Amino acid sequence: MSDVNQRDMQAKQHNVASYLLRFTQDLYEDEAHDAHVRWRGHIRHVQGDQESRFTDFAEAVGFIQRGLTELTADTLSGAGDMSQEKVFAESFKLWEQFASSYTDIMRNAMEQTLKQSELISKQVEAARTQAMKAWQLPQTGSADAELLAAVTALQEQVTALADRVATLEQALNAEKE
């Protein structure tokens, strides 16, 4: 093998493929006020200009697989007498390892999401309880009905006070005349 070919092969044996993953979690309620979590993602090949958005992690894995397959094919084009089959087999041991842990990765991500959702739910409930205590409203039964009853009672009291003030103003005006 010539010195040039050997240097090219050595350089290609140390190719780097880096990927940047960004995940975004959307928390939302549907029309029935049921809470939902949706994950979106963005993946970018750091050394190149390829990027993709995904909603299913399998799409990100496919993006990485295609990039590494291209890199492996490029390496093979300058590999001389190396067996393509052997290079591909060695390159894709990574995917065998990843495939065996993929389920665990996704399960852990879902568990974290559930824990975060439960924490948010507890925080909202604690804030609601604290607000109800501040307004001194009872916390049993339907909160909406109790809140409406309390507002109605306050409105009746304000109306009664307004009537008394009007009566007092009339009495004061009558005395002035």
Tell me the pLDDT of the chain averaged across its residues: 77
Q: Report pLDDT for 44.
A: 95
pTM: 0.45
Q: Specify which of 23-27, 75-79, 113-117, 169-173 reaches the highest per-range mean pLDDT.
A: 23-27
Residues contacting residue 24 through CB under 8 Å, at least 6 positions apart: 39, 40, 41, 42
